[in-house]
Amino acid sequence: MLPFKTLIETDKSLKLPVYQQIANRLIGLIQEGILKPGLFLPGSRILAEQLALHRKTVIAAYEELISQDWLVAVPRKGVMVAANLPVIRPRSFRKTVSPYGSEAAFAFHAVPTVPVPLPPPTTGNPLVVNDGFPDARLAPLSAWVRECRSVIESPRYYKLLMYGDATGSEALRREMQTYLTNTRGLSITIDNVMITRGAQMAIYLAAAMIIKKDDYVIVGSPNYFFADLCFEQLGARLIHVPVDEDGIDVAAIEQLCSSRKIKMLYLVTHHHHPTTVTLSAARRMKLLEVIRKYKLPVIEDDYDYDFHYSSAPILPLASADHGGNVIYIGSFTKSLGLSIRIGFMIAPVDFIAGSASLRRLMDLRGDNLTEQALANLLADGTIERHLKKSNKIYRERRDLLCGLLQSRLGDAVQFTVPAGGMAIWLRFSKKISLKKLSEKASRMGMRITSGEQYHYGTTSQNGIRFGFASLNNKEIAEAVAILEKLVK
């Protein structure tokens, strides 16, 4: 008799009932050719003894397999593996391993990657200095839950649960039209609006609509790493143009456009990632000229526009005369919460229609319920009030952090107070190992990035983004005290 005791292992701590575990294992043994068609299995009493289980459990497993036609009950003889199953050459008696091991058996494309910013800790409660994320404690979650509930309870909910327009909920696009006109001076109709899962999806879709293999794409140096990775994945050749305190070097962009075919420009006009600088008004005007002259398609990533502290923000390029070349991208993930994935793309109508078709190939549509809930929160003023409140708090946090860094770390660090956004770009005066800094910080109870992602594709930055928005005053003071010990 086969060594069923070693061939069938069961685990009572699993949610899957034990009889089902036995049945699944017997199917596996049949598929592996170890239990051949026509073979009689041990009687239920014997198998139960071998497996140290109740007989009823084995009977239930046999009955299950008989009903699935894997086994046949032969009167007075017992239970047999169905004779009509194909004969398979046995592999071995070894315990089967999951076919989903760590490596695929087939070749597939390598997707470029960088060490992403720190994930939230799963245990304990360390101090986390992130890349520049919002404070989830401030998010208008009760209003959010209320609206999600009211959407589900509305008589129209069943319509919202259907597939629909891949450009997003009409109600939200309508609200967006008003919102973007009021806050950014955009002159658009709802057909220029597409709702995406965060700004990131919009960046990918827009780029995929434009870039072909070996096309030249201009990006900042340094640049938002996920944009670089995305364009490279699409086959682009990146040309990195310096970013200084006035933003991306527009003269260099013009020079490049005059010397070769540039397929696209990607830039972050407000609170550039990672440096947090804002493109100056003078450079914007010059850039608009270049865009029109060379008919240069531009992705304007304005992911952080709603968070502005010093003065009224400069209006985006998208609000000016760009000759239909600017694709404007933004997000609500920073207002509602990073995992409430609602972003948007504003572009000419045909480009939106094409992007929606492309999106359908991987995501038939966005999340209608959450889009409707956000539309309600925009309409009733909740988002506006939340932004007002969080801007005030984030501004105080920015000022506190900058003041403390100045007084506690002095010349050891350099930074410019950002006009908005959620992080400061902190550079260290002496060359330091950011990896070691991050490791030492971790031993002192603080998680902070080693900043490797900012070095992607460009020269080493000797700096990190220090997110202030998600830390309260006490946490900011603690974080600076730890940083002081590490740096000094």
Ligand X SMILES: Cc1ncc(COP(=O)(O)O)c(C=O)c1O
Q: Is 387 in the site for ligand X (CB under 6 A)?
A: no
Two tokens at 476? 């900011």
How far from 149 is each of 16, 265, 375, CA to CA, in Å?
A: 33, 41, 14
Is residue 333 close enough to count as binding ligand X by CB under 6 A?
Answer: yes
Q: Is 224 in the site for ligand X (CB under 6 A)?
A: yes
**Complex with ligand X: residue 232 or 478, whichever CB lies closer:** 232
**Closest distance between ligand X and the C-beta of residue 332, in Å?**
8
**Is 331 a residue that touches ligand X (CB under 6 A)?**
yes
CB of 14 to ligand X, least distance (A): 37
Q: Does 200 bind ligand X (CB under 6 A)?
A: yes
Dig out the tokens for 236 from the structure. 């682009």
53 vs 205, which CB is nearer to ligand X?
205
Identified binder of ligand X from the candidate list 198, 451, 463, 467, rule CB under 6 A: 198
Least Cβ distance, residue 132 to ligand X (angstroms): 7
Contact partners, residue 220, CB within 8 Å, separation at least 6: 240, 241, 242, 243, 248, 266, 267, 268, 272
Min dist CB 47 to ligand X, Å, is: 54
Among 199, 236, 426, 476, binds ligand X (CB under 6 A): 199
Ramachandran quadrant class, 324 (left: phi over 0; alpha: psi -120 to 50; beta: rest): left
Q: Are 313 and 420 in contact (CB under 8 A)?
A: yes
> Which of 120-128, 192-200, 242-250, 363-371 is the region at the interface with ligand X (rule: CB under 6 A)?
192-200
With respect to ligand X, which residue has the nearer C-beta, 44 or 316? 316
Q: Which amino acid is at 402?
A: C
Strand, helix or coil at 179?
helix
Q: Residue 407 has which token pair?
A: 């007084």
| 301 touches ligand X (CB under 6 A) | yes
Q: Which two tokens stand for residue 97?
A: 């391993």
367 binds ligand X (CB under 6 A): no
Q: How far is the C-alpha of 225 from the C-alpha of 207, rounded, in Å?
A: 14
Find the shortest distance in angstroms from Cβ 467 to ligand X.
10
Nearest to 55 by CA among 47, 63, 66, 65: 47
Contact 402, 417 (CB under 8 A): yes
Part of the chain binding ligand X (CB under 6 A), chosen from 17-25, 75-83, 196-204, 434-442: 196-204
Closest distance to ligand X from the beta carbon of 331 (Å)? 3
SS3 assignment, position 368:
helix
Cβ–Cβ < 8 Å for 35, 26: yes
Closer by beta carbon to ligand X, 10 or else 275: 275
Least Å distance, CB 483 to ligand X, is: 22
Number of residues that bind ligand X (CB under 6 A): 12
For the chain, how many residues are written? 488
Give the span between the Cα atoms of 170 and 167, in whole angstroms. 8
Alpha-carbon dihedral sign for residues 270, 272, 275, 276: positive
Residue from 82, 88, 148, 338 binding ligand X (CB under 6 A): 338
**DSSP character at residue 194:** E
Token pair for 99:
């076919």
Query: Considering the complex, what minimum distance in angstroms separates the CB of residue 460 from ligand X?
Result: 20
Alpha carbon of 104 to those of 94, 101, 110, 165, 476: distances in Å? 21, 7, 12, 35, 45
Of 47 and 424, nearer to ligand X (C-beta) is 424
Decide: is 279 part of the binding site for ligand X (CB under 6 A).
no
Q: What is the distance between the alpha carbons of residues 27 and 259, in angstroms, rounded to a whole number? A: 66
> Does 303 sit near ligand X (CB under 6 A)?
yes
Closest CB to ligand X among residues 140, 421: 421
| Helix runs in 234-327, H state only | 250-259, 281-294
If 0-12 CB within 10 Å is exposed, 13-18 middle and 19+ buried, where does residue 361 land? Answer: exposed
Which CB, 343 or 463, lies closer to ligand X?
A: 343
The one among 184, 270, 273, 386 contacting ligand X by CB under 6 A: 273
Binding flag, residue 343, ligand X (CB under 6 A): yes
Q: How far is the CB of 154 from ligand X (least distance, A)?
A: 27
Site for ligand X in 347-366 (CB under 6 A): none
268 binds ligand X (CB under 6 A): yes
User: What is the C-alpha to C-alpha distance for residues 310 and 307, in angstroms, rounded to an integer?
Assistant: 10
Q: Closest separation between CB of residue 268 and ligand X, Å?
A: 5
Kindly state the smallest distance separating residue 339's Cβ from ligand X, in Å. Answer: 9
* Part in contact with ligand X (CB under 6 A); list of ranges 4-12, 197-205, 255-263, 433-441: 197-205
What element of type H or E holds 250? Answer: helix 250-259
Distance in angstroms (rounded) separating the CA atoms of residues 457 and 453: 9
Q: Single out the segment in contact with ligand X by CB under 6 A; choices: 71-79, 198-206, 314-322, 396-404.
A: 198-206
Which range binds ligand X by CB under 6 A, 20-28, 137-145, 194-202, 448-456? Answer: 194-202
Q: What is the DSSP letter of 138?
A: G
Least CB distance from residue 343 to ligand X, whole Å?
4
Q: Which two tokens stand for residue 412?
A: 């050891």
CA distance 264 to 241: 13
Write out the residues near ligand X by the rule CB under 6 A.
198-200, 224, 268, 273, 301, 303, 331, 333, 338, 343
